[in-house]
A and B are shown apart, each in its own frame.
Chain A
Amino acid sequence: MSETLSRRKMITRGIAAATGVAGLIAADRIAGAYGLIPPDSGGVWGPGETLTYAAQRLLMSHHSMAREFNRSDVSKAIPVSGEPPSAGQYKELLESSFRNWRIPIDGMVARPASFSIDELKRMPMSSQITHQACEEGWSFIAEWHGVQLSHVLNLAGVSPAAKFVVVYAYDGVWDSLDLADAYHPQTFLTYGLNGNELPTRHGAPLRLKVARQLGYKSVKFLSRITLTDSLKSVGNGKGSISPDYGYSWYAGI
């Protein structure tokens, strides 16, 4: 009696385990097809990163807006982490007030182009007063002025096959966004902060602003934008330089 019961139990458990494994494999395939697997999904932290990214992409609307504040909420002073790039090329651009600075947008676009700061400023200006939290734990509220990245992407004509926007900076930092965040209305190419020009230490002449992710995703000192369908052959293959320092590619946390 108890033997048959335990055998039945074992068979049931066996079937449950097999279903579980098959389910996991199927889930992995589906997640891959729908872009729910982050580029840094390998390694020991892969399961957590993938669950977080997939859950947020599935449960969150692509157009949910980060909270906006009033001008009176703007932080009086903003701490800065990191120094402006020391590379000679950046110094020259800075000394000439970025007159010769242009940002190319290339890769999987119909009309590769490059823009000067003045050209970007002539595009429709958007502003946002949002809260930015650093990975370390501190935070501030600031008003950012710039052009929506989606506007520039549309000018360049993104190929339907493209999946990521990769950005490069003069300090060697590079990072990438999926299209959900790249086309998000609060994702800016910013050239102004709190009603002024973007200060050098805050990323002049142009800084990415990604309102729904931690501060380190808002890459400073931009030098190039490129579109790709795969991050595997870009840099370390993990979508960003951040994983090299232990930080995740996706910082929506």
Chain B
Amino acid sequence: MAHSTYIPEVAHEANQAQIAHRVPLLVRLTHWTFTLSFFGLAVSGFAIILAHPHFYWGETGNILTPPLFSLPLPTMLGGPSGWGRSLHFQSAWLAVVSGLLYVISGVASRRFRNELLPAKQEFSLGALRSCVADHLRLNRLVQDDGYNILQKLAYLGVVFVAFPLMILSGFAMSPSITSVFPWMVEVFGGHQTARTIHFFLANLLVLFLLAHVTMVALAGFTSRMMAMITGRPAARKEMQ
């Protein structure tokens, strides 16, 4: 069944099974608005860094204090990055709205619980080891029985840890927001620490994106893209 070839219009039963695995409209919609906002955030984030590619730890940091590390880039490359800020916040609004819609619908529809919450037995050393081994050998990348443990942990980590921390460390850099919620910056130990963590998290999320796109390509780019656009994978299997 899992590896059978079929034409949805005629194979009624297969079609029914497929409907159950359809990517819901809201997930597809928010996936692509989020993609757009992610690129906006990444590009503008880099433009902002170009103005001052030095990172510090603690509350303050400037050219007269020793940095934690610096990127090998000249200061103020490309001139003032006002457009970077504007694009960053406009994209952030789109990201937060898309992300919230996705999370709320995922919780309300029990999608997170059913598809992403790992079962206890998935945490056994043997299961983890075989999953990692499969990944290293690029085995069993297309599975019809849902996400594997590494996928579940990666998605849960990105949705419920990395992005919330990203938003929080962003808020921590706002003098207006921290005047109302000082804990948002204090929890990081300072404005510049929050900025540095924001940068680390951004790198982590870009790495996640690269892994995500690589896995999509390995699993069958056209079929996966069709699934995320139309809701159904392309009828033709690309990988056996």
To the question of whether A and B form a pair in one complex, the answer is: yes
Q: Per-position contact with A for B43-68: 1 when CB-CB < 8 Å, else 0?
A: 00000110110100001111111000
- Identify which of A19-27, A59-67, A192-200 touches chain B: A59-67
Q: Which of B98-120 contact A (CB under 8 A)?
A: none
B176 touches A213 (CB 8 A): yes
A59 touches B180 (CB 8 A): yes
Q: Please report the C-alpha to C-alpha distance between residue A64 and residue B93 in the assembled complex, in whole angstroms.
A: 23
Asked if A253 is at the interface of the complex by the 8 Å CB criterion, the answer is yes
Q: Which applies to chain B's interface (DSSP): helix, strand, loop or mixed?
A: helix
Q: Per-position contact with A for B158-202: 1 when CB-CB < 8 Å, else 0?
A: 000000000000000111111110100100000110010000000
- The distance from the CB of B52 to the nearest CB of chain A, in whole angstroms, is 4
Interface size, A (range)? 35 or more
Chain A residue numbers with a CB within 8 Å of B52 are 134, 136-138
Asked if B83 is at the interface of the complex by the 8 Å CB criterion, the answer is yes
Asked if A88 is at the interface of the complex by the 8 Å CB criterion, the answer is no
Asked if B221 is at the interface of the complex by the 8 Å CB criterion, the answer is no
Closest chain A residue to B53, Cβ basis: A137
Q: Which applies to chain A's interface (DSSP): helix, strand, loop or mixed?
A: loop
A211 touches B175 (CB 8 A): yes
A66 touches B175 (CB 8 A): yes
Asked if A94 is at the interface of the complex by the 8 Å CB criterion, the answer is no
Chain A residue numbers with a CB within 8 Å of B83 are 45, 246
Q: Please report the C-alpha to C-alpha distance between residue A29 and residue B90 in the assembled complex, in whole angstroms.
A: 21
Q: Please report the C-alpha to C-alpha distance between residue A253 and residue B194 in the assembled complex, in whole angstroms.
A: 15
B62 touches A140 (CB 8 A): yes
Q: Please report the C-alpha to C-alpha distance between residue A147 and residue B196 in the assembled complex, in whole angstroms.
A: 35
Chain B residue numbers with a CB within 8 Å of A75 are 60, 62, 64-65
Asked if A42 is at the interface of the complex by the 8 Å CB criterion, the answer is no
B61 touches A139 (CB 8 A): yes
Q: Per-position contact with B for A218-253: 1 when CB-CB < 8 Å, else 0?
A: 000000000000000000000000100111100011
A131 touches B54 (CB 8 A): no
Q: Please report the C-alpha to C-alpha distance between residue A246 and residue B88 in the assembled complex, in whole angstroms.
A: 13
Chain A residue numbers with a CB within 8 Å of B207 are none
Q: Please report the C-alpha to C-alpha distance between residue A51 and residue B97 in the assembled complex, in whole angstroms.
A: 12
Asked if B80 is at the interface of the complex by the 8 Å CB criterion, the answer is yes
B179 touches A131 (CB 8 A): no
B86 touches A137 (CB 8 A): no
A48 touches B179 (CB 8 A): no
Asked if A206 is at the interface of the complex by the 8 Å CB criterion, the answer is no
Asked whether A60 and B62 contact (CB < 8 A) given A137-B49, A139-B192, A247-B85, the answer is no
- The distance from the CB of B74 to the nearest CB of chain A, in whole angstroms, is 13
Across the interface, A48 reaches (CB within 8 A) one of B64, B93, B192, namely B93
A131 touches B175 (CB 8 A): yes
> What total of A-B pairs shows CB separation below 8 Å?
122
Across the interface, A138 reaches (CB within 8 A) one of B63, B176, B180, B182, namely B63
Asked if A56 is at the interface of the complex by the 8 Å CB criterion, the answer is yes
A79 touches B175 (CB 8 A): no
- The distance from the CB of A218 to the nearest CB of chain B, in whole angstroms, is 11
Closest chain A residue to B90, Cβ basis: A48
Asked if A33 is at the interface of the complex by the 8 Å CB criterion, the answer is no
Q: Please report the C-alpha to C-alpha distance between residue A24 and residue B93 in the assembled complex, in whole angstroms.
A: 16
Asked if B87 is at the interface of the complex by the 8 Å CB criterion, the answer is yes
Q: Which of A18-68 contact B (CB under 8 A)?
A: 45, 47-49, 51-52, 56, 59-61, 64-67
A253 touches B89 (CB 8 A): yes
A56 touches B177 (CB 8 A): yes
Chain A residue numbers with a CB within 8 Å of B174 are 252-253
Q: Please report the C-alpha to C-alpha distance between residue A67 and residue B60 in the assembled complex, in whole angstroms.
A: 13
Q: Which of B72-93 contact A (CB under 8 A)?
A: 76, 80-83, 85-87, 89-93
Q: A137-B51, A137-B54, A138-B63 are in contact. List 11 more A-B contacts (CB 8 A).
A: A52-B93, A64-B179, A79-B63, A136-B51, A136-B52, A139-B62, A139-B192, A212-B179, A247-B82, A248-B86, A253-B177
Of the A-B pairs whose beta carbons lie under 8 Å apart in the complex, a sample of 13, sorted by A's number, is: A49-B86, A52-B93, A60-B180, A64-B176, A66-B178, A77-B64, A133-B173, A137-B48, A137-B54, A212-B176, A213-B176, A248-B85, A253-B174
Residues of B within 8 A of A (CB): 48-49, 51-52, 54, 59-65, 76, 80-83, 85-87, 89-93, 173-180, 182, 185, 191-192, 195
